[in-house]
Amino acid sequence: MKTAHDLVTAAKALIREVSLDDAEHAIREADVLLDVREADEFAAGHLPGALHISRGMLEFKLAGTPELSSRDLKVVLYCKTGGRAALAAKALLDMGYIHVQSLAGGFDAWAAAGHPLARPSLPAFD
């Protein structure tokens, strides 16, 4: 029986991971930056300009959103450390997307390197 680690390792062998050093360029060149973490993780902080679609809903949201349906979109994905993003990238390749990259090390590596983060502001209830 395969473990989650086995599935991530297999996915990483088939996808393109972009290094942290090359991430800013890849993100600038991308048509869409996707955060595939859960909603609470996204709300706690995310990469500026990221669109949130949790890993569990990814295929459904892409299929149901005309602006994201073009298979030649340049897509960069990330999650917390890279596992979910690798699985998501593999799913996008399986769906026929051509230009898919996953951020190696994910959000944690981005934040640890001191790159900018976005945090939604909450309304004041004074």
Q: Which residues are catalytic?
A: 79
For the chain, counts of helices (H) and of strands (E): 6, 5
**Which DSSP string do the residues of 91-110 spell out, in sequence order?**
HHHHTT-SEEEEETTHHHHH
Residue with tokens 């360029």: 25
Q: 90: closest CA among 52, 55, 38?
A: 55
